């Protein structure tokens, strides 16, 4: 029976499969097989022994249950693996398994193989989210809405701007992923403290051939482990991605508030919002994303703590990484795919979008009016103060800016009615929003989606 929600609730099969116990076991067997192949290439072990090890280094022969049984006896997971592989190899080949290696030659190199697979899935899903955001940015590049700062109406913007900004952020995550990949996809075959003493003078060549067989780069230099700044950086990448998804989810949740009601996450015909309130249409998918993002971010600190291992290594990283790395990748992939579904299914209430633009009595246009007055020769500070005074009157009296300006002796002497009508048009004050969206989406398509 499963206990952790990443086993039964918050996962997609493709990513979870990478981090199952059986998948991890197979990656470690792959490393053992690659090591024996490299040693055979150099004439250090008989070719037939390497061939037998390669044949038997499969979970159909080395059963997970047997490895666990041996671990209970030996209290050492990698020695259990070595023993389980050795006992199924025939013709004396078992005596050459793990020759010269240390446990973390196997563990860290196998982990790099898992990370490689996980980053491929993550990269594909990031590109899919990017595509969904670019499509929404293009579709809504002219969809006028009220911009908000500090939770208050600011000046008009477009929904295309929101999506384009998020898309650029996802693009930066793709760049970061590429940088992390270059540093993370390294393995080691350097022995107990990194000196390669157990491999003799062929140490460099054994490591090189082993990594070539596995499609990894050799780490430049190690002690008993690949240094943990690499893995901490990956956790930071996952946290950054989660932060973006949290931000998008929060925006959707806020825009779905009853008092705003501009955008809604998808809601199926038979979906239930509340067990007691039949009318509820809760943004629970976005809320779930925001909640899980907290877990992903929280994994950064223990991951950073694993950098400071003692001497040539201690074991304090192991227990942490058995949790943070699978959990981080599985949860990030889950909320990423959930967000793709949300973005593609967003619903817009254009009537409420327009209503909210009109809600602030025309006050979001004070910046434009101030700038136009400066162009007519009024001092910027003077114009700002006059409009601040008029805006406060609008709030007090709950009257529109148009009315208050036309009634005010100073303001009406500077602004005629025709000018005012033009300056109060929100669609006339979105600057280069449409052009910015078009430029960004073009760039992102060329970079990632062509």
**Block mean pLDDT (10 aa), the chain, length 450:** 84 96 98 99 98 98 98 98 98 97 98 99 99 99 98 97 99 99 98 97 98 98 96 98 99 96 84 61 92 98 96 95 97 98 98 96 95 94 96 95 94 93 96 98 97
pLDDT score at 324 = 97
Instruction: Tell the residue number behind the tokens 């690659």, with chain if given.
Output: 34
* Residues in Cβ contact with 131 at an 8 Å cutoff, skipping those fewer than 6 apart: 449
Tell me how far apart the alpha carbons of residues 104 and 323 are, in angstroms, rounded to a whole number: 17
Residue intervals of the chain classified under CATH 1.20.200.10 are: 101-145+159-266+280-358+434-450
Four-CA torsion 213, 215, 218, 222, nearest 10 degrees: -100
Note every long-range contact of 309-317, with CB atoms under 8 Å and residues 24 or more positions apart, other chains counting.
Answer: 309/225, 309/228, 311/223, 312/192, 312/193, 312/194, 312/223, 312/224, 313/104, 313/223, 313/224, 313/225, 317/225, 317/228, 317/231
Catalytic one of 4, 274, 319, 341 = 274
Half-sphere exposure (Cβ direction) of 445: Cα atoms closer than 13 Å: 11
CA neighbours closer than 13 Å in the CB half-sphere of residue 266: 9
Question: Rounded to an integer, what is the distance from CA 158 to the centroid of its chain?
Answer: 25
In sequence order, the 6+-apart residues with CB closer than 8 A to the CB of 49 are 36, 40, 89, 91, 92, 93, 95, 96
Pick the CATH number of 101-145+159-266+280-358+434-450 from 3.40.350.10, 3.40.50.12780, 1.20.200.10, 1.25.60.10: 1.20.200.10
| pLDDT confidence of residue 107 | 98
Cross-strand pairs, 217: 186
What per-residue confidence (pLDDT) applies to 8? 85
Would you say 442 and 165 are in contact if contact means Cβ atoms under 8 Å apart? no
Residue 98's DSSP bridge partners are none
The encoded tokens of residue 396 equal: 């007090």
CA-wise closest residue to 29 among 5, 62, 6, 3: 62
pLDDT of residue 413: 92
Residues across the chain? 450
| Closest to 62 measured CA to CA, from 114, 97, 105 | 97
Domain 12-99 has CATH 3.40.50.1820: no
- Kindly report each contact of residues 254-259 with a partner whose C-beta sits within 8 Å and lies 24 or more positions away, as own/partner: 256/281, 256/283, 256/286
**Active-site entry in 150, 268, 275, 311:** 150
Domain with CATH 1.10.40.30 in the chain: 363-423
* Prediction pTM value: 0.95
Phi-psi group of 217: left, alpha or beta (phi > 0 → left; psi -120 to 50 → alpha; rest → beta): beta
pLDDT given at position 3: 84
What is the distance between the alpha carbons of residues 102 and 100, in angstroms, rounded to a whole number?
Answer: 7
Residue 370 φ then ψ, to 5°: -60, -45
Residue 112 and residue 186: Cα distance in Å, rounded? 6
Ranges of CATH 1.10.275.10 domains, the chain: 12-99
Q: Is 150 considered catalytic here?
A: yes
Q: Is 360 a catalytic residue?
A: no
Tell the residue number behind the tokens 């059986």, with chain if given. 22
Sequence-distant (6+) residues with CB within 8 A of 14 are: 121, 333
Question: How many Å is the maximal CA-CA distance in the chain?
Answer: 104
* CATH architecture under which domain 363-423 falls: Orthogonal Bundle (1.10)
């Amino acid at each position: 029976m499963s206990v952790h929600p990443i086993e039964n609730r918050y996962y997609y099969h493709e990513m979870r499969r990478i981090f199952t116990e059986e998948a991890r076991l197979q990656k470690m067997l792959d490393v053992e097989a690659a090591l024996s192949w490299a040693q055979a290439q150099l004439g250090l072990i008989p070719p037939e022994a390497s061939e037998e090890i390669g044949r038997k280094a499969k979970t159909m022969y080395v059963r997970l249950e047997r490895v666990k049984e041996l671990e209970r006896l030996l209290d050492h997971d990698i020695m259990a693996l070595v023993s389980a592989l050795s006992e199924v190899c025939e013709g004396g080949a078992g005596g050459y398994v793990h020759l010269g290696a240390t446990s973390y030659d196997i563990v860290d190199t196998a982990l790099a193989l898992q990370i490689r697979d996980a980053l491929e899935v993550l990269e594909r899903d990031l590109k899919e989210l990017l595509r969904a955001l670019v499509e929404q940015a293009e579709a809504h590049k002219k969809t006028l809405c009220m911009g908000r700062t500090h939770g208050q109406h600011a000046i008009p913007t477009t929904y295309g701007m929101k999506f384009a900004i998020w898309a650029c952020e996802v693009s930066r995550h793709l760049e970061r992923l590429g940088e992390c990949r270059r540093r993370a996809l390294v393995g080691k075959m350097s022995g107990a403290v990194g000196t390669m003493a157990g491999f003799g003078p062929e140490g460099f060549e054994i490591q090189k051939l082993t990594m070539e067989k596995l499609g990894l780069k050799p780490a430049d230099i190690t002690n008993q482990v690949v240094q943990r700044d690499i893995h901490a950086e990956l956790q930071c990448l996952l946290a950054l991605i989660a932060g973006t998804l949290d931000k998008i989810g929060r925006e959707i949740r806020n825009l779905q508030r009853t008092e705003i009601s501009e955008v809604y996450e998808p809601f199926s015909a038979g979906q239930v919002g509340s067990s007691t309130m039949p009318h509820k249409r809760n943004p629970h998918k976005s809320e779930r994303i925001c909640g899980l993002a907290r877990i992903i971010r929280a994994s950064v600190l223990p991951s950073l703590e694993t950098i400071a291992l003692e001497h040539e290594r201690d074991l304090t990283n192991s227990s942490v990484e058995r949790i943070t790395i699978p959990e981080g990748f599985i949860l990030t992939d889950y909320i990423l795919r959930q967000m793709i579904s949300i973005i593609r299914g967003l619903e817009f209430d254009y009537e409420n979008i327009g209503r909210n633009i009109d809600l602030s009595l025309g006050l979001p246009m004070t910046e434009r009016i101030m700038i136009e007055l400066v162009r007519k020769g009024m001092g910027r500070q003077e114009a700002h103060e006059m409009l601040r005074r008029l805006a406060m009157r609008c709030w007090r009296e709950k009257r529109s800016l148009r009315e208050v300006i036309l009634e005010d002796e100073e303001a009406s002497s500077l602004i005629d009615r025709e000018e005012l009508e033009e300056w109060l048009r929100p669609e006339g004050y979105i600057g280069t929003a449409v052009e910015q969206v078009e430029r960004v989406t073009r760039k992102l398509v060329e970079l990632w989606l062509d």
